[in-house]
Structure 1
Amino acid sequence: MAHPGPHPALTAAADAARAAYTDARARHDRATLAETVEQGADGTPTMRIDRLVEDAVLRALEPHRVNVLSEESGWVDRGSEISLVIDPLDGSANGAAGVPLTAFAGTVAVAGEFTESYTSWLDTGRGWWAHREAPTAYRTSGRRELAGAALSMLRPHTAKPGPAAAWWAAASRAARVRVLSTTCLEAALVAEGATDAFADACSDTHRLVDLAAATVLVGRAGGVVLDVRGRPVEFTTDLTRRWSGVVAATEELGRELVGVLHEAAASAHR
């Protein structure tokens, strides 16, 4: 039986994010958009562009009466069985600077279980929707080994010996490395086979809002979402929890990448 399509709260949030992002870019210069205006619920600085987009998304979600876990505002409890985990603007620094690599990502959780997700490339309007019980046309590349792979990673944290060693260990084995600075978009590219894997090289940068959508989208496309340290990527309202996410085309590639990163980081401290 065909699935009826995206939850209306998902589409409302994505539409609001794109409209607010477009409006913010039109109204403000780069310095204004990049200005830190507060500390977010996840403990990291909130740029003005983050606040403008998230405020618009939260307003759009009010009629839907779902709980919301969002990067800047944290947990909004409306007493619903349905929760929406959202990253209204992934790639904030890109967006503020005018680099067209930004995304909205939203994931529906029912009684704490992720059921569907939608990722929208805000600069183009291109989107990826998946439901765990619905067929999808997305397929990963199917690559099973890191040698020869196209790999995306977060930037190398050169001041930290473990993450720096892990980054270079993975990069030296891959055929191509990209740093796009937008986890949600990079995960979508793994889902459709444009790249083989994406990873945070042991820096524990990822929050749930960065990885939740990938667990549904990439999982339905045949890939996996793992954590370098083996922590499950599961629903939580605690935005202080961190992961070093690995998003890979196959279980085999994901496990190999986790092993390479973990061993290199451990060796740097011996």
Structure 2
Amino acid sequence: MSSAIPWPVPEPVLPTGVHPALAAVARAAARAYGDARRRHTRAELGAETAMGADGTPTMLVDELVEEAVAEAARQAGTNLLSEEIGFVDIGSAVTLVVDPVDGSANAASGVPLSCLAAAVSMDGTATEALTCWFDTGRTWHAVAGRPTPYRTSGRTRLDGATVDVLRPRPRAREAWHRLTDRAGRIRILSSTCLEGALVAEGAIDAFADAGGDVHRIMDLVAAMVTVPAAGGAVVDAFGRPLEIDPDLTRRWSGVIAATPELAEEVAQAVRG
């Protein structure tokens, strides 16, 4: 675990028409993560350097990538709401809501399951989203209200579904078992934003935090655009509204599902 991660991080493959600010932060994040992997060992990337604005520890890999993202957002002339530094207001009508490194522990260890996820917010509404899988350069892009090439699996029932989950939290173990006992296949990939994109394209049926109240808004915001455009739904398991809010102490138990019907069955299983 002390050695450097040997393989490079590719440039993001960006679709035509993506918002320039989203393109800028995706490129900046990929380059910063690639540079961090060249310069630092796994142990160094995973070392905690500070406490983030969301109240959770910041790893060195988070810090290095977020610095690049913040500079890209500044040059693009947008406000920024990001996991570690919080809200940076430069007086723009546009705010980028960004998770610079979703799956930080994966990214620091060299597990190739981490990504940048970002959305354009206008007056508190997410209008466009981009998710970039660091180790492949693959991206998922969607604009609210426009057709998308992605389609969910269309599954409506939890029994037998393929469901990705976060690890069980001590206070929510019963909810975790209620959910997983009904699913046909379970995975724990530790990257909510990447798993949300996989729901959008039909690779998995659903993803959920089974009652742990782990999610911040930047964990869910890209899926809030991409998944409904593909036929699915993104909700909180306990019915709380998903709101873009600079208060990063707010938490949700996100459910990302192929259909509204499946989202409700997953949420019901979590609630018990």
Paired residue for 1:138?
150
Residues 69-96 of structure 1, C-alpha deviation per residue, up to 9 Å, x if partnerless?
Answer: 0000000001111111000000000011
Of 210-219 and 230-239, more deviation after overlay is shown by 230-239
1:93 maps to 2:102:
no
1:250 maps to 2:262:
no
For residue 178 of structure 1, the aligned residue among 178, 182, 187 is 187
How far did 1:60 drift? 1.4
Residues 81-119 of structure 1, C-alpha deviation per residue, up to 9 Å, x if partnerless?
Answer: 111100000000001111000010000011111100000
TM-score, with length taken from structure 2 = 0.93
The residue identity in structure 1 corresponding to 2:241 is P
The residue identity in structure 2 corresponding to 1:142 is G
Root-mean-square deviation (CA, aligned residues, Å) is 1.1
For residue 118 of structure 2, the aligned residue among 88, 92, 106 is 106
How far did 1:65 drift? 1.3
Paired residue for 2:8?
none
TM-score, with length taken from structure 1 = 0.94
How far did 1:169 drift? 0.9
SS in 2 for 1:141: coil
CA distance in 1, matches of 2:201, 2:228: 11
CA distance in 2, matches of 1:183, 1:141: 18
Aligned runs of 1:227-246 on 2, under 5 Å? 227-246=236-255
CA distance in 2, matches of 1:91, 1:184: 8
Aligned runs of 1:79-90 on 2, under 5 Å? 79-90=91-102
> Would you say the 8 A contact 2:73–2:79 is kept in 1?
no
How far did 1:4 drift? 7.1
Of 189-198 and 22-31, more deviation after overlay is shown by 22-31
How far did 1:133 drift? 2.7
How far did 1:45 drift? 0.1
Paired residue for 2:12?
none
SS in 1 for 2:266: helix
The residue identity in structure 2 corresponding to 1:209 is M
Structure 1: which 5+ residue stretches go unaligned?
264-270
Gap change, CA 1:32 and 1:81, over 3 Å in 2: same
CA distance in 2, matches of 1:59, 1:107: 16
1:53 maps to 2:62:
no
Paired residue for 1:190?
199
SS in 2 for 1:55: helix
For residue 43 of structure 2, the aligned residue among 31, 43, 53 is 31
SS in 1 for 2:228: helix
Residues 1-34 of structure 1, C-alpha deviation per residue, up to 9 Å, x if partnerless?
Answer: xx97211000000011111111111111111001
The residue identity in structure 2 corresponding to 1:123 is D
Structure 2: which 5+ residue stretches go unaligned?
1-14
Residues 135-191 of structure 1, C-alpha deviation per residue, up to 9 Å, x if partnerless?
Answer: 11100000000011000000111x32xx10111111110000000000000000000
For residue 234 of structure 2, the aligned residue among 210, 225, 242 is 225
For residue 5 of structure 1, the aligned residue among 17, 29, 34 is 17
What count of residue pairs does the alignment treat as equivalent? 258
1:166 maps to 2:166:
no
> Would you say the 8 A contact 2:73–2:96 is kept in 1?
no
CA distance in 1, matches of 2:143, 2:17: 8
CA distance in 2, matches of 1:133, 1:143: 22
CA distance in 1, matches of 2:248, 2:145: 27
Paired residue for 1:267?
none
CA distance in 1, matches of 2:105, 2:173: 22
Paired residue for 2:77?
65
